Amino acid sequence: MSPAEEHRTIAGTFTDRVRGVRDWDVPSPVPDWRARDVVRHLVEWFPAFLADGSDLRLPAVPSVDDAPVGAWEQHTTAVQALLDDPANAEIAFAHPRLPQSPLPQAIAQFYTGDVFLHTWDLARATGQDDRLDPERCQMMFEGMQPLDEMLRQSGQYGPRVPVAEDADVQDRLVGFIGRDPAWQPSS
């Protein structure tokens, strides 16, 4: 799957979860985050990341506080347009803290993967379907394990949450990134 197709699929699932939220102030599995903070994170970190490694800029979107659905939809539409534009396929993404790579691959690796993981957070927080693609879970879990120490030191992942030896790959991935797979919203 190309980075554009991958983003279309993964962001499409996240968009479905965004549209299904009934209460944006419910707690999420990410400590100190509410459902709206999951969207805020994705909408706010990526434009700065993109600007640090390229001359491309995303258009401003509505405030997540005022319009979380609108902010997400405008943001994801802009990211998809960036990936769909053939002129961007050969742009070298040169972030100061990462090896240089083609822009679409950098987006797929860092951003689309983050959207995939945060789909679980938003779905679990809001009582929606939180099942993730098992093949993608397996690929990410295997790819992240050798980077365990570096990922923990980055501050982007909490301590690994232990899971049963026979846990499915989604629970192993969720535990690896520092979430409790058994987390439930408080009633």
Instruction: Show Cβ contacts of residue 93 under 8 Å, excluding neighbours closer than 6 positions.
Output: 53, 54, 100, 101, 102, 103, 105, 106, 107
Instruction: Show Cβ contacts of residue 76 under 8 Å, excluding neighbours closer than 6 positions.
Output: 11, 14, 15
Is 28:124 a contact under the CB 8 Å cutoff? yes
pLDDT, averaged in runs of 10, over the chain (187 residues): 96 98 96 96 94 93 97 98 94 83 91 96 97 96 84 78 95 94 86
Is 35:112 a contact under the CB 8 Å cutoff? no
Domains and CATH numbers, the chain: 3-130 (1.20.120)
Q: What SS3 class is residue 61? A: coil
Provide the pLDDT for residue 152. Answer: 72
Provide the pLDDT for residue 34. Answer: 96
Provide the pLDDT for residue 149. Answer: 80
SS (H, E, C) the chain: CCHHHHHHHHHHHHHHHHHCCCCCCCECCCCCCEHHHHHHHHHHHHHHHHHHHCCCCCCCCCCCCCCHHHHHHHHHHHHHHHHHCHHHCCCEECCCCCCCEEHHHHHHHHHHHHHHHHHHHHHHHCCCCCCCCHHHHHHHHHHHHHHHHHHHHHCCCCCCCCCCCCCCHHHHHHHHCCCCCCCCCCC
